[in-house]
């Protein structure tokens, strides 16, 4: 007998009731051992702790409560999209998994054997995915469900680490010539579909064949190095020709493909003149901006000289210093996707702000040099967050540095030099600049002369500095201490998280293009990695509790062993007892 309970929000919006208990458990047919495998897996974590928190009410707003066919069960549809990213599946694979995979049925609490309960078409998946993207529910899902896992598994968020990793969308890597040629090809195809009359009357056959012939792409990809400059100049002239040819037609100018032509022209070439007198010259590679178009099929991707083209994900996760504690998972608390050209220095403060609003803000953040600017460290300190990151740049070549001087902790004025001599005068010269003046005779016979940052003038010796230089000097000195090195060594662990994000849930190369689609996929994959980590911790907790109970069994008298074995078998079937003492 199958128990199915449905709660209809309206006549056409269907939501299954997963809260009301069932008279008969539909999963008893599995037996205790197979049931235990499900409960200790990702399916058990998702079903037990996360499934009931899916935001079905926000999705239900997109369906009419009186018209149309009844919606698919909303919990199932939203959950399937999360599990799709967790397992890195295509839409056809999701349809099959939902239809036949018992792990999915258990995770999504599907007990109905009909097609209505276990079938979602690819078109329906795309529809619900668009709803979630339009409502920005990817971030809401990640934050809500991750916060639930943090609370359930008792994760300590006081220590966290931050780093970025490159994300490749589903686009080819193109050189400058092929970027221009592909943009022209994209415009011509769009023009042929939407403005056939202009396409036929304004463009010559030779021009069309140059970009739309079957072998056109291969011709542009096989340009000899000696002909690169000439070919790029010719393609630039074609860009100007198309832009000026169709500029009088407002409907053509409104096309996104036409705007891409203008964008590529100004990013790759220097434009001189206007109208028919417009001329272009190729920009040197160093003058091409890092946010220039990388591929017309993905106009929001960026470029970084170190990481390459695509996107980057800012990842912040918890970490624990006890390597032997496998019962508490390290969880990703923050993920943000942005074009690859955006500097990492802008990634720290948004991560702190976002986690502060959710109540999982760290007390200490470990990150690399790019995040550790002086402004970032100061701003983080106002939020009571300690940032552990090396200072950017190299230390001064002189043996004596600013940190060797003694300063007043309140005014930051110099009290004494490294040799113990007090300055004649010390204080602010302007709002942020400070100066210390030493007697010429004092510095004349100093053994540090030549290796000291003090400037020797005609009448006296001067030390010029500001509060920023002073803070950086103190940080550079602290970096040499064992305490700093012991804290900073934990940063390396996030490199493993970046690797797992790409290998375990498939974030290295995505099936989608565009910032919105890439953001949706990466955020839900980060949530999927959190679920997998919690499942691994769940197994560890179960094993440790079973081991403790078995050890206790052998310490009991023989008369109590039989009774204890029966109790142990009963408790072994209740995973939540072993894991959380419920």
> Residue 329 phi/psi, 5° resolution?
-80, 155
Per-residue model confidence (pLDDT) at position 340: 93
| Helices and strands in the chain: count of H runs, count of E runs | 25, 16
Helix (H, G, I), strand (E, B) or coil at 92: helix
Residue by residue, pLDDT tens for the chain (582 residues) are 344 444 554 547 777 767 666 677 788 888 888 988 998 899 999 999 999 899 988 988 888 777 777 778 899 999 999 999 999 999 999 999 999 999 999 999 988 888 888 999 999 999 999 999 999 999 999 999 999 999 999 999 999 999 999 999 999 888 899 999 999 999 999 999 999 999 999 999 999 988 988 777 666 777 888 888 899 999 999 999 999 999 999 999 999 999 999 999 999 999 887 777 778 899 998 899 888 999 999 999 999 888 889 999 999 999 998 877 778 899 999 999 999 999 999 999 999 999 999 999 999 999 999 999 999 999 999 999 999 999 987 766 666 788 888 888 888 888 989 888 888 888 888 777 898 889 888 888 888 887 888 888 888 888 888 888 888 888 888 888 999 999 999 999 999 999 999 999 999 899 999 999 999 999 999 999 999 999 999 888 876 555 554 455 555 555 555 555 556 566 555 544 444 443
**Interatomic CA distance for residues 541 and 154, integer angstroms:** 13
**Interatomic CA distance for residues 527 and 531, integer angstroms:** 6
Query: b or e along 469-496 (b: 16 or more beta carbons within 10 Å of the residue's beta carbon)?
Result: bbbbbebbeeeeeeebeebbebbebbee
Tokens of 65: 């409560």
Per-residue model confidence (pLDDT) at position 370: 93
Contact between 291 and 341 under an 8 Å Cβ cutoff? The reply is yes
**Interatomic CA distance for residues 41 and 327, integer angstroms:** 14
Question: Residues 376, 377, 383, 386: is their CA dihedral positive or negative?
Answer: positive
Residue 120: closest CA among 55, 72, 69, 56: 72
Q: What predicted TM-score, i.e. pTM, was given to this entire model?
A: 0.86
Classify 487 in phi/psi space as left (phi over 0), alpha (psi -120 to 50) or beta.
Answer: alpha
Residue 314: closest CA among 339, 289, 292, 331: 339
Please name every residue paired with 280 in a beta bridge, in sequence order, or none if there are none: 271
Distance of CA 252 to the CA centre of its chain: 37
Residue 295: closest CA among 181, 445, 460, 129: 181
Calculated CA dihedral for residues 445, 446, 450, 451, nearest 10 degrees: 180
Q: What is the DSSP track for 372-416?
A: --HHHHHHHHHTT-EEE-PPSSPPPSSSS-GGGSEE-TTT--EEE
**Interatomic CA distance for residues 18 and 448, integer angstroms:** 77
Contact between 420 and 402 under an 8 Å Cβ cutoff? The reply is no
**Interatomic CA distance for residues 106 and 399, integer angstroms:** 66
Helix (H, G, I), strand (E, B) or coil at 313: strand
Strand segments, DSSP code E, in 76-214 are 159-167
Per-residue model confidence (pLDDT) at position 283: 92
Please name every residue paired with 279 in a beta bridge, in sequence order, or none if there are none: 272
Tokens of 193: 């579909």
**Interatomic CA distance for residues 437 and 546, integer angstroms:** 72
Query: b or e along 318-336 (b: 16 or more beta carbons within 10 Å of the residue's beta carbon)?
Result: bbbeeeeeebbbbbbbbbb
Instruction: Report how far apart, in Å, the C-alpha atoms of 393 and of each of 480, 486, 524 are.
Output: 15, 21, 36
């Amino acid at each position: 007998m199958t128990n199915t309970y449905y709660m209809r929000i309206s006549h056409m919006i269907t939501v299954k009731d997963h809260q009301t208990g069932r008279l008969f458990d539909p999963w008893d047919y599995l037996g205790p051992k197979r049931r235990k495998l499900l409960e200790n897996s990702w399916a058990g974590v998702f079903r037990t702790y996360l499934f009931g928190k899916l935001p079905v009410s926000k999705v239900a707003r997109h369906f009419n409560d009186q018209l149309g066919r009844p919606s698919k069960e909303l919990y199932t549809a939203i959950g399937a999209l999360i599990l799709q990213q967790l397992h890195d599946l295509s839409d056809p694979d999701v349809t099959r998994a939902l239809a036949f995979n018992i792990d999915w049925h258990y995770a999504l609490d599907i007990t109905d054997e009909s097609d209505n309960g276990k079938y979602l078409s690819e078109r329906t998946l795309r529809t619900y995915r668009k709803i979630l993207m339009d409502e920005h529910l990817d971030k809401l899902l990640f934050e809500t469900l991750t916060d639930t896992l943090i609370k359930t598994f008792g994760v300590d968020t006081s220590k966290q680490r931050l780093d970025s990793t490159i994300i490749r969308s589903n686009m080819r890597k193109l050189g400058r010539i092929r970027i221009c040629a592909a943009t022209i090809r994209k415009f011509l195809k769009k023009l042929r579909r939407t403005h056939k009359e202009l396409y036929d009357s304004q463009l010559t056959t030779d021009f069309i064949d140059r970009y739309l012939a079957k072998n056109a792409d291969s011709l542009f990809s096989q340009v000899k190095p000696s002909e690169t400059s000439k070919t790029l100049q010719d393609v630039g002239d074609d860009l100007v020709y198309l832009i000026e040819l169709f500029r009088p037609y407002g409907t053509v100018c409104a096309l996104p493909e036409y705007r891409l032509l203008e964008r590529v022209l100004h990013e790759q070439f220097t434009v001189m003149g206007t109208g028919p007198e417009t001329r272009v010259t190729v920009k040197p590679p160093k003058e091409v901006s890092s946010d220039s178009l990388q591929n017309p099929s993905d106009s929001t991707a960026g470029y970084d000289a170190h990481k390459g083209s695509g996107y980057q994900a800012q990842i912040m996760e918890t970490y624990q210093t006890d390597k032997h504690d496998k019962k508490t998972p390290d969880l990703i608390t923050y993920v943000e996707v942005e074009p690859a050209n955006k500097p990492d220095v802008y990634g720290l403060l948004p991560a702190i702000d976002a986690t502060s609003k959710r109540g999982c803000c760290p007390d200490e953040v470990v990150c690399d040099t790019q995040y550790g600017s002086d402004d970032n460290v100061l701003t983080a300190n106002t939020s009571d967050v300690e940032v552990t990151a090396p200072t950017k740049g190299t230390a001064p070549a002189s043996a004596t540095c600013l940190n060797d001087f003694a300063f007043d902790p309140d005014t930051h004025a110099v009290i004494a030099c490294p040799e113990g001599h007090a300055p004649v005068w010390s204080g602010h010269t302007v709002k942020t600049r400070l100066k210390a003046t030493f007697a010429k005779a004092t510095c004349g016979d100093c053994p540090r002369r030549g290796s000291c940052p003090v400037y020797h003038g005609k009448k006296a010796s001067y030390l010029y500095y500001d509060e920023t230089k002073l803070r950086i000097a103190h940080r550079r000195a602290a970096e040499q201490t064992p305490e700093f090195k012991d804290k900073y060594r934990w940063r390396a662990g996030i490199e493993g998280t970046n690797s797992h994000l790409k290998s375990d849930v498939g974030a290295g190369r995505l099936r989608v293009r565009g910032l919105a689609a890439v953001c949706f996929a990466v955020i839900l994959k980060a949530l999927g990695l959190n679920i997998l980590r919690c499942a691994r911790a769940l197994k560890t907790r179960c094993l440790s509790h079973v081991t403790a109970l078995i050890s206790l069994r052998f310490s009991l008298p023989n008369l109590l062993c039989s009774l204890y074995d029966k109790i142990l078998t009963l408790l072994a079937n209740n995973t939540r007892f072993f894991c959380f003492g419920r």
